[in-house]
Amino acid sequence: MNREQIPDEARRFILASIPSVPFLEAMLLLRRNAAQDWDSKRLATRLYLSERSASELLSALQAAGVLATTDNNAVFRYQPASESLRQMIDLLAESYAHHLVEISNLIHSKTGKRAHQFADAFKWRKDS
């Protein structure tokens, strides 16, 4: 992989599918520990989050097809819904290892743009 820039397919995946850095960090942590079962308490401890935030991340990752769930949706395990998703997450993990700052900035710029667009919707306009 070219270490000079984030691969285009990883960039597109980030922009389309990664809502936050904690989402990415949780996904990659569970990927690295694919044989382990996870609940919100364990994830909260590992990522220094509240249990509520960890629970929301686990639910979001499951809804995105990254995790499978057992035990009445309380225990999760890394199990991408398709081989193409698994390969994309593998590419993203490799890219993140070499481009942590750039990928973090890309995610933050995406969420920052959304916040500005939302705020702009409430601005008073002269022609209003």
Q: What is the pLDDT of residue 53?
A: 96
Spatial neighbors of 96 by CB under 8 A, at least 6 apart, are 24, 28, 103
Give φ, ψ of 63 to 5 degrees.
-65, -30
Q: Does residue 117 belong to any structural domain of this protein?
A: no
CATH of residue 44's domain is: 1.10.10.10
Q: Does residue 88 belong to any structural domain of this protein?
A: yes
Render pLDDT for 76-112 as a digit per residue (tens, 0 to 9): 999 999 999 999 999 999 999 999 999 999 998 875 4
Name the more confident of 72 and 55. 55
DSSP characters over 32-45: HTTTS-B-HHHHHH
Parent domain of 67: 8-112
Q: Does residue 103 belong to any structural domain of this protein?
A: yes
Q: Does residue 121 belong to any structural domain of this protein?
A: no
Render pLDDT for 4-48 as a digit per residue (tens, 0 to 9): 789 999 999 999 999 999 999 999 999 999 999 999 999 999 999
> What's the pTM?
0.81
Q: Does residue 126 belong to any structural domain of this protein?
A: no
- Nearest-Å Rg of the Cα atoms of the chain is 17
- The domain tally of the chain equals 1
